Amino acid sequence: MKEIQVNVPGFRHDFALVKENRVNQNIGLVDCYRHLAPMVDTDVYMSWLMKQITTRKIPVIKRKVAGPLVAREFKLKKEFSADVIVNCTGLGATNLANDPMYSLRGAVINLVDNSKKIPKLMQAHCVSHDDITSENEIVFIIPRGTEKIVLGAIAEKDSIDTDIHLENYDPIKDMYRRCCEFLPELTKLNINAIDPIRVGLRPFRQDNVRLDREKGSSIVHSDGHGGAGFTFSWGCAEEVTYIVLAMLS
């Protein structure tokens, strides 16, 4: 926490934040702090990223590539007229890079916040996962754009079925209950009827992120970003760029 205090603007370590933010004072919270952090609306961000590519007339080809990449490097480079292959295939790296990956399944619930039933939520709230609590005790409540609040989360190892909902899966019901217990006014908001739940698999790697050049090849790996792929993305992309430029020079 000391590192955040020194390096991150807007830091405040004060239990009074609980009451100020209308957080439930009867759920055993013992400490809290606040700081500024960048947030993105990932739907908007992903569209923006794709636009950066298409406006530069860079072709986007959607196709499954069979692995391992090392064995198919020459053929793939020829087929795509490429000098370098950057592998950022998340869980696909198990097969493509012979790198055992595992998933932590996650889910979020989308609430609609356009009715002025509660004071506008201007800050995100988060109780992150630690080793003391069970995996499914995460709370995050994130205002997104002007009319949406995203609730999370769960983290379930090697459960790859993404067809889970509030109706058929108790841990999602529990997640909703946890968030509402944390910030009781959320019960006044409706769950988005068209887009109620998003489920995804966080691509983890046993040894943390892999960002390196495959020895003796022109393949660069950037995978295993787990639950922080958006956060890491600019830094990892910059690092990949340095490696690729060094390879080409």
Ligand X SMILES: Cc1cc2nc3c(=O)[nH]c(=O)nc-3n(C[C@H](O)[C@H](O)[C@H](O)COP(=O)(O)OP(=O)(O)OC[C@H]3O[C@@H](n4cnc5c(N)ncnc54)[C@H](O)[C@@H]3O)c2cc1C
Q: Which residues contact ligand X by CB under 6 A?
A: 64-65, 88-92, 96, 106-108, 152-153, 200, 202-203, 223, 225-231
For residue 208, give the nearest of 226, 221, 220 by alpha carbon. 226
- C-beta closer to ligand X: residue 96 or 219: 96
DSSP letter for each residue of 142-155: EEETTTEEEEE---
Shortest approach of ligand X to residue 15 CB, angstroms?
A: 25
Question: How far, in Å, CA of 66 to CA of 70, rounded?
Answer: 11
- C-beta closer to ligand X: residue 183 or 211: 211
Question: How far, in Å, CA of 107 to CA of 140, rounded?
Answer: 11
For residue 151, give the nearest of 160, 161, 143, 163 by alpha carbon. 143
Work out the number of other CB atoms within 10 angstroms of the CB of residue 50.
Answer: 11
Shortest approach of ligand X to residue 65 CB, angstroms?
A: 4
Shortest approach of ligand X to residue 109 CB, angstroms?
A: 10
- C-beta closer to ligand X: residue 91 or 141: 91
- C-beta closer to ligand X: residue 171 or 227: 227
For residue 37, give the nearest of 4, 68, 67 by alpha carbon. 4
- C-beta closer to ligand X: residue 200 or 235: 200
Shortest approach of ligand X to residue 172 CB, angstroms?
A: 11
- Let me know how long the chain is: 249
Question: How far, in Å, CA of 142 to CA of 168, rounded?
Answer: 24
Shortest approach of ligand X to residue 52 CB, angstroms?
A: 15
| Phi and psi, residue 121, nearest 5° | -80, 115
